[in-house]
Amino acid sequence: MTGPEVIALGEVMLRLDPGEGRISTTRSFQVWEGGGEYNVVRALRRCFGLRTAVVTSLADNAVGRLVEDLVLQGGVDTSMIRWVPGGGIGRTARNGLNFVERGFGIRGALGVSDRAHTAVSQLRKGDVDWDTVFAAGPRWFHTGGIFAGLSDTTADVADEAMAAARRHGVTVSYDPNYRPSVWAGRGGADRSREVDLRLARHADVVVGALGLAGDRPGEVRVGADEVPDALAEVAAKLPGARVLATTLREVPSAGVNDWSSAAWSREDGFVAGPAVPGLHVLDRIGSGDGFAAGLVYGLVTGTGLARALAYGTAHGALTMTTPGDVSMATLDEVEALMNGGTAHVRR
């Protein structure tokens, strides 16, 4: 058995989902696993058939083992998980929880994460032997701003990992994925931008690149006609990046989104992705990660940027049609949608 082709660094949380109900009134939850960086490698394994692994840390208790079991069901290699003692009631380390409402109509999706002091947030430089990780010969490494924002040490770990990947000739992708809750009390949007620019300089590919437009994340609203200039602005900030990509979303309601994408590369310039107007959404959480997975698959397999964008856009759209963070799409479904497929019953 050869090693993983794609490796991600990030937190894997236990997602608790009240289904059609609300967090504050439900009496039962369905559980899933999920996490911005992990979702990418999970989809690359289950939908796109690549061998993948996740580097993370979990507290060694029954909840951590439940997360591990869910990761195993997703087919992602768990051998790089770092297990730490839970300290009885989680005084020293704990596992992250993420409560998520899907939203409906005029009520948007709601995420309430409970992830401070988790095992993975306590990772420090030197805890992972990155030269050994990358000596196994992976083709791609992915991480992002959610992991980097978990604590004062995780940005250093991401920096160390990305630099090691570059030394070993591994393609590196980074998703800023700004979350105000992650940076609250820790420097907010300004600190997030500082960390993102520090880490994205190691990246060959930046997903969610519009998050780096403007002076602060979330500060500017980029109209469709402004996307080429906004990506060019980001490219000027990141002279080492080869590809910048982004999803584009209009949200008339929680249940109907207009969904598309765009990218820029040094070889192709600006490339517009396919449009999926009026997409009916069951659960939008994880759709950006689904886009990233499809994009990475296209780039890894050498399809060219336009087709990689199409893989990302179609896969992200299908991810929104099923519950949970993780993709339940098949490669056949993704390619059928790329080729103009419809929702007619298949028998």
CA distance 24 to 31: 16
Q: What is the pLDDT of residue 123?
A: 97
CA distance 291 to 310: 9
Burial class, 242, CB count within 10 angstroms (exposed 0-12 / middle 13-18 / buried 19+): middle
Give me the mean pLDDT over the 113-141 stretch: 96
| pTM of the entire predicted model | 0.95
> What average pLDDT does the chain have?
94
Which residues are paired to 6 by β-bridges? Answer: 52, 140
CA distance 273 to 340: 14
What b/e string do you get for 7-46 counting C-beta neighbours within 10 Å, with b at 16 or more? bbbbbbbbbbbbeeeeeeeeeebeebbbbbbbbbbbbbbb
CA distance 54 to 37: 9
Give me the mean pLDDT over the 163-169 stretch: 97
Whether the predicted pLDDT of 113 surpasses 90: yes
Give me the mean pLDDT over the 307-315 stretch: 97
Q: What is the pLDDT of residue 342?
A: 54
Q: Which pairing describes strands 256-265 and 276-280: parallel, antiparallel, or unpaired?
A: antiparallel
pLDDT tens string 16-60: 999 999 999 999 999 999 999 999 999 999 999 999 999 999 999
Q: What is the pLDDT of residue 217?
A: 86
